[in-house]
Amino acid sequence: MVFPFVQNIFSEEETANLAKEFSSLLQKGDCISLVGNLGSGKTFFTKVLCKEFMIDDANSPTFALLNVYVGKEKFFHFDFYRVRSQQELLDIGIYDYLNDEEAITIIEWADLYPAVLPKNRYEITIVIKDDFSRTFRIEKL
Amino acid sequence: MTVLGIESSCDETSVAVLKDDLVLANLISSQDFHINFGGVVPELSSRAHIQIITTLVKNALAKANCTLDEIDAIGATAGPGLIGALLVGYTFARGLAFAKKKKFVPVNHIEGHIFSGFLSEDKPTFPLLVLAVSGGHTLLLIAKSFTEIIKLGSTIDDAAGEAFDKVAKMVGLGYPGGPKIQAAAEKGDKMKIPFPIADLKGKYDFSFSGLKTSVLRYVQSAFGRPQNSPIPEADLNDIAASFQYAVVKALLKKCELALKEFEISSMSLVGGVAANQELRKAFLQLGEKYKKKVVIPKLEYCGDNAAMIAFRAQSLINAGESFSLETDAFPNFSSKYFINSTL
């Protein structure tokens, strides 16, 4: 995969294939920020990605703010959608998780609080187009 | 037996005093915070829990007209939840139990919800079919007793309550999604748009992510991108009604399957989404159809609350269970009472 990587996606199956391909690049300590509107497929992408690490119970962390999964790797799955201020993230101890070199962190709605994100990360931006296909753009920052 | 219950797994801090079957006090931060803090809305953080926990405990004891010495046991939520939030209530409870030499019960938050129907005057009977629906959970299970729970299924993506919030946002109805959708749906035609119900590998599992996407697809093709122009009110009402109908149908379909397959004595609808009138009505009708007793707890016991935590602690003590003060709180705190799966 060469970055920035851009692909137009027309089905869930193609999203799944991309998530699988991308998952093979991940290492302990990595952070992935996911950016995209409601219904763009952020949680679905994360589910497929986690499955590659033998995690079957990944689901939406919108309400819980953070789900922790342990499979072949440990994952912190955040969702900033419901967070009301950056201070709340600091209170939750966001940096304790982001600085855990043993875990991989995935953040949905990461663009809501860009200031807390690590400089070095993968950023995946999903855009829903008028014909309901999606464009996935993956950058290595 | 008098039990002090403490809950702080997510947004709410809550403290309750339960004497036998009677809730003497059930204070919840978002509703009772103004008592001492001048109407400040609590924020979602461990700091907010720390600021109010002591006051809430004092106020709950005062309201229950009860002293700490009269408390027999303390139950506190040990998980699942955000660790920072959990630790506040849990550590406070553990310290209090240690200092005052009280029985201590670490409580699983979900188990608190599962048995919240027992806070009603008319109690559920076992085997009990429970549909637990909230912003964070969608679960179907059977409790055979207070210590034997069989999980039938759960959501594989979004929780039902989350779907309400996100669809409301998507179509421009705003927050909180549950009440807004319900109000709009009352004026709409639920048969107008046939939104799909997910067919899943797990017979009793739920999925609401696909429904959310199909609402988005419908809105986008019928009205252009939702952010461009507001959807006309009549159409909005139809979308809300059709969406709500699809959610209720999906939830009830699995309940009916379970009623056909398993021996069930009564049914209980718990969690924050139990506030939805359409769902309550459908759940009651289903109970009538299968001639089962239906128990839906009062609204104050549907959302996160400490009364259900105190009751769960009491039911475990009555079942002869005992617990170590050494048990730690844990974000993925699992339940040993689930006999077919982990939670």
> What's the pTM value of the predicted model, to 2 decimals?
0.92
Interchain contact B334–A (C-beta under 8 A): no
Question: Strands across the sheet with B148-154, in order?
Answer: B148-154, B138-145, B128-133, B266-270, B293-295
Shortest alpha-carbon distance between residue A95 and chain B (Å): 13
Q: What DSSP letter does each residue of A11-42 carry, written as one string?
A: SHHHHHHHHHHHHTT--TT-EEEEEE-TTSSH
CB contact under 8 A, A92 and B45: yes
What's the confidence (pLDDT) of residue B31?
65
Q: Is B304 on the interface with A (CB under 8 A)?
A: no
**Domain span including residue A97:** 5-140
Q: What is the pLDDT of residues B169-181, one digit of tens each?
A: 889 888 788 999 9
Q: Does A114 touch chain B (CB under 8 A)?
A: no
Residues of chain A in contact with residue B169, where contact means CB-CB under 8 angstroms, are 38
Mean pLDDT of B249-265: 97
Which residue in chain B is spatially nearest to A76 when comparing CA positions?
Answer: B331
**Residue B32 in this model has a pLDDT that exceeds 70:** no
Q: Which of residues 104-163 of B touch A (CB under 8 A)?
A: 134-136, 155-159, 161-162
Chain B interface includes A38 (CB < 8 A): yes
Buried b (16+ CB within 10 A) or exposed e, B237-264: bbbbbbbbbbbbebbbebbeebbeeeeb
pLDDT for res B11? 82
- Yes or no, beta carbons of B161 and A128 under 8 Å apart: no
CATH number at residue A20: 3.40.50.300
Specify the number of domains making up chain A.
1
Q: Residues of A with CB below 8 A from B273's CB?
A: none
Contacts of A134 in chain B (CB under 8 A): none
pLDDT single digits (tens) B212-242? 999 999 998 888 765 667 899 999 999 999 9
Q: Please tell me the predicted confidence (pLDDT) of residue B48.
A: 75
Quick check: A39 and B216 CB within 8 A?
yes
pLDDT of residue B228: 65
**A33 bridge partner residues:** A107, A123
Q: Which of A44, A63, A85 is closest, CB to CB, to B136? A: A63
Q: Which CATH superfamily is domain B123-296 in?
A: ATPase, nucleotide binding domain (3.30.420.40)
SS (H, E, C) B229-240: CCCCHHHHHHHH
Asked if B24 contacts B18 with a C-beta cutoff of 8 angstroms, the reply is yes
B231 touches chain A (CB under 8 A): no
Judge: B220–A130 Cβ closer than 8 Å, yes or no. Answer: yes
Q: Does the pLDDT value for residue B34 go beyond 90?
A: no
Q: What is the ipTM of this complex?
A: 0.86
- Domains of chain B, residue spans: 2-115+300-335, 123-296
Whether B43 has a pLDDT exceeding 60, the answer reads no
Q: Which two tokens mark B216? A: 């988005």
Q: How many CB atoms lie within 10 A of CB A114?
A: 12
Q: Is B264 on the interface with A (CB under 8 A)?
A: no
A31 DSSP β-pair partners = A105
Average pLDDT, chain B: 91
Window A:91-110, CB contacts with B under 8 Å: 91-93
The pLDDT value recorded for residue B45 is: 61
φ, ψ dihedrals at A55, nearest 5°: -110, 115
* Beta pairing partners, B106: B76
Is residue A63 within 8 angstroms of chain B, CB to CB?
A: yes
Tell me the per-residue pLDDT of A64-92, one tens digit each, with 9 for 90 and over. 899 999 999 999 999 999 898 898 898 88
Residue B52 CB partners (closer than 8 Å, separation 6+)? B13, B29, B33, B37, B42
B103: which strand partners? B73
Query: Mutate which of A9, A12, A38, A47 to disrupt the B interface (most B C-beta within 10 Å)?
Result: A38
Answer yes or no: is pLDDT of A99 > 60.
yes
CA distance A95 to A90: 7
Highest CATH level, class, for B2-115+300-335: alpha beta
The pLDDT value recorded for residue B41 is 44
Q: How many CB atoms lie within 10 A of CB B318?
A: 10
Each residue's pLDDT tens digit, A5-63: 999 999 999 999 999 999 999 999 999 999 999 999 999 999 999 999 999 989 999 98
Instruction: Tell me what pLDDT residue A77 has.
Output: 97
Q: What is the number of CB-based contacts under 8 A between chain A and chain B?
A: 83
